[in-house]
Structure 1
Amino acid sequence: MTARPLVIAHRGASGYHPEHTLGAYELAIQLGSDAIEPDLVVSKDGVLIIRHENEISGTTNVAEKPEFADRMTTKVVDGEELTGWFTEDFTWAELSTLMCRERLPELRPANREHDDKHGILRFIDLLEIADEAPGGLSLVVELKHPTYFAGLGYSFEALLTQDLFLAGWRTDDPRLIIESFEKSIMVRLRELGIGSQHFYIMDNLHTAFDELVWARSEGVPSISNNDELSDAGLEAFAGRLDGLALASSLLFDGTEEELKNGQAIVQKAHDLGLKIFTWTLRPENEFLPPMFRTAEGPGSRGNWQDFYEMIWKLGVDGAFADHPDLAVRTRP
């Protein structure tokens, strides 16, 4: 690793404000974040919307809006059956009437003070925020469910290009990093020159949806993210992607032996010209490996500082954090 690792504000400073709100983004900038991570989904009329998921009942007041009661429905998204309200069933004009709320109210009750203070943002709104940020700010943009949305007729490639053009950004602006849990769209965007860097997000015991679809169509077994982290898997990514965004559990579970294994994965990736980000640094006991938890409840902070310092010892190029100030404080 030749540069100081990035602190990437996960959905903004989402440990202090409801995620993906103007308040969360503004605070993330104030706390010294190098980058902000928005999640993009699509509206009915093809507007790129910033939400954690296309099902929005857990992050907005949509369930309390009588005019939208008949939009509640059940869908299958990436093989999972979900019931609620979905962005692709609303125009942007309709979505703009909703207010944002804390997604984890039981764990982060203080954040509820900011409920209903901010509306949903569009991607183009965040591009403007990044332009106005002092000292430069990068965006690590996550594309949600690209295969699912492509099946509905929406093209992330076209929609990204449109918003970047309208905002006056080059498609390959160096501030624009793009990531997804599906590798196929990352390869396509890299070939098209949309985004300056392209990261494949990987989780423990997870298989990408586009991988499942491809394997089913070819009649062959699918390959899990864990398998893709083999030497052969990493070599296959070299030259096709710029990096991997790995769940911290794929690199470190709290033991010294696992730390060495994680360092070896990061070093192998670096040797192949791949960068490694990891996610997500959260200080609450609920999210820490058992050895870093304290006796207080799941929403109380555990031995987060020790855990964060171990994560940085992996040699990663960046880490996503809900509380970016804590990540900045421990960064080497």
Structure 2
Amino acid sequence: MADRRQVLRIGAAAAAAPALAGTVAAPALAGNSSSTKKLVVGHRGASGYRPEHTLASYELAARLGADYMEPDLVITKDGVLVCRHEPEIGGTTDVSSRPEFAARKKTVLLDGISVTGWFTEDFTLAELKTLRATERIPAIRQRNTLYDGRFPVPTFQEVLDLRKRLSKELDREIGVFPETKHPTYFQRLGLPLEGTLVRVLRRNGLDRRGAKVFVQSFEAANLRELADKHRVQVPLVFLTGGAGGPFNDPRSYADYLTPAGLKELSQFVDGLGPEKGQIIPRNADGTLGTPTALVKNAHQAGLKVIPYTFRAENSFLPAELRVGTDVAAYGKAIDEQVTFLRTGIDGLFTDNPDVGVLARSLV
């Protein structure tokens, strides 16, 4: 698969956008070429400011300067890709308040973990469209609860349509960075994500060299199938956690991230999406420690590195960058992102795209 691999396209310069109250304005980045600019991925859209995985969140991400929108993809009973963080939707929609769907609450083994709630595979798209999105972490993002009940669950096609419209309106191409969520789980249900994703991309003319698309997954087998069976032409990104390994895979993430493991990965993927602690771990006191060799080793294997997830609230920041004691208050998020960008990473996933755009302009 080495001949399929291509240089990751980081995208055109981000345009300036008006900032929300209390956020950082996204500046123009004159002179920052598309070949060297760090990539800013709007993680689940601009989920620091709107309920995640809604068209409102994705649109705001683009308007704040993100190069890419990042939808997590799950699938409905009738085989339509929709954007949710997990198959279980009790925590991100108002389904628990809908008596007509009460009987669909169930318990499943989701990648070996018992999970109780409502699951997309039990809903047709028409039924899912009657639900409304809610903020996933209201205790931290109370302001986002203002929008609870306002937005429906979008399909992947709707995100691609939004991408096309905004690219014309903003006069710069907006990318899309979909993640296949729990692909083994859905395969076992007879609702595989891979073929459906490829068909949607091809229907939209996006499975081609140079398209502003990345496909990502926490499962190496899923990415191998996309590369070998479906022969996708867009770059693939292997996501890794700080512990454990891909579901139903005897290998750990740590094993995949050894020099030998990275060399093997480079035969079928183009980049890594590690948990940010794998780039700079935290000390016992919660402060940032010494950067690891992962960025260097991945680059030597020909892989780009785009870690996750950068957020502005104190609860997600290293101890020395928190401001005050309120876990929901903003800390020194710009400083954190600048620190990570200086390790040589090729971009980052952030819930606050305007902060990411500003941080990369300072590096």
Q: Which runs of 5+ in 2 are unaligned?
A: 1-7, 9-34
Root mean square deviation of aligned Cα: 1.8
Within the candidate set 192, 196, 202, 1:159 is matched to 196
After TM superposition, give the deviation of residue 269 of structure 1 in Å. 1.1
How far apart, CA to CA, are the structure 1 residues paired with 2:112 and 2:308? Answer: 23
After TM superposition, give the deviation of residue 35 of structure 1 in Å. 0.3
After TM superposition, give the deviation of residue 257 of structure 1 in Å. 9.0
**TM-score computed with the length of structure 1 as normaliser:** 0.92
Aligned counterpart, 2:46: 13
C-alpha deviations, 1:148-195, integer Å up to 9, x for none? 100011222221133234434446662221001101111221222325
Aligned counterpart, 1:53: 86
How far apart, CA to CA, are the structure 2 residues paired with 1:226 and 1:302? Answer: 30
What letter matches 1:313 in structure 2? Answer: R
How far apart, CA to CA, are the structure 2 residues paired with 1:247 and 1:38? Answer: 17
Residue 88 of structure 1 pairs with residue 121 of structure 2: yes
The answer to whether the Cα contact below 8 Å between 2:256 and 2:265 also exists between their aligned partners in 1 is no
Q: Residue 274 and residue 189 in structure 1: after superposition, are their counterparts in 2 closer, same or farther (change >3 A)?
A: same
C-alpha deviations, 1:228-249, integer Å up to 9, x for none? 2222221221222111100001
The answer to whether the Cα contact below 8 Å between 1:40 and 1:142 also exists between their aligned partners in 2 is yes
Aligned counterpart, 2:244: 206
> After alignment, is 41-50 or 125-134 more displaced?
125-134
What letter matches 1:296 in structure 2? Answer: T
User: Which structure 2 residues correspond to residues 1-332 of structure 1 after superposition, within 5 A?
Assistant: 3-134=36-167, 135-170=172-207, 174-191=211-228, 192-211=230-249, 222-254=250-282, 258-261=289-292, 264-331=293-360, 332=363
C-alpha deviations, 1:183-234, integer Å up to 9, x for none? 11112212223251001100101211031xxxxxxxxxx3321232222221
C-alpha deviations, 1:119-158, integer Å up to 9, x for none? 0000111111111122101111100011110001122222
How far apart, CA to CA, are the structure 2 residues paired with 1:173 and 1:153? Answer: 32
After TM superposition, give the deviation of residue 258 of structure 1 in Å. 4.4
Give identity over the alignment, percent.
38
The answer to whether the Cα contact below 8 Å between 1:43 and 1:89 also exists between their aligned partners in 2 is yes
How far apart, CA to CA, are the structure 2 residues paired with 1:49 and 1:154? Answer: 13
**TM-score computed with the length of structure 2 as normaliser:** 0.84
Partner of 2:132, secondary structure, is: coil
What letter matches 1:197 in structure 2? Answer: P
Q: Residue 154 and residue 195 in structure 1: after superposition, are their counterparts in 2 closer, same or farther (change >3 A)?
A: farther
C-alpha deviations, 1:250-273, integer Å up to 9, x for none? 111357994442xx3212211211
What letter matches 2:271 in structure 1? Answer: G
Partner of 1:210, secondary structure, is: coil
Partner of 2:177, secondary structure, is: strand
> After alignment, is 185-194 or 244-253 more displaced?
185-194
After TM superposition, give the deviation of residue 301 of structure 1 in Å. 1.4
Paired residue total? 320
Aligned counterpart, 1:214: none
Q: More helix by proportion, 1 or 2?
A: 1
How far apart, CA to CA, are the structure 2 residues paired with 1:309 and 1:65? Answer: 44
Q: Residue 17 and residue 230 in structure 1: after superposition, are their counterparts in 2 closer, same or farther (change >3 A)?
A: same
Q: Which runs of 5+ in 1 are unaligned?
A: 212-221
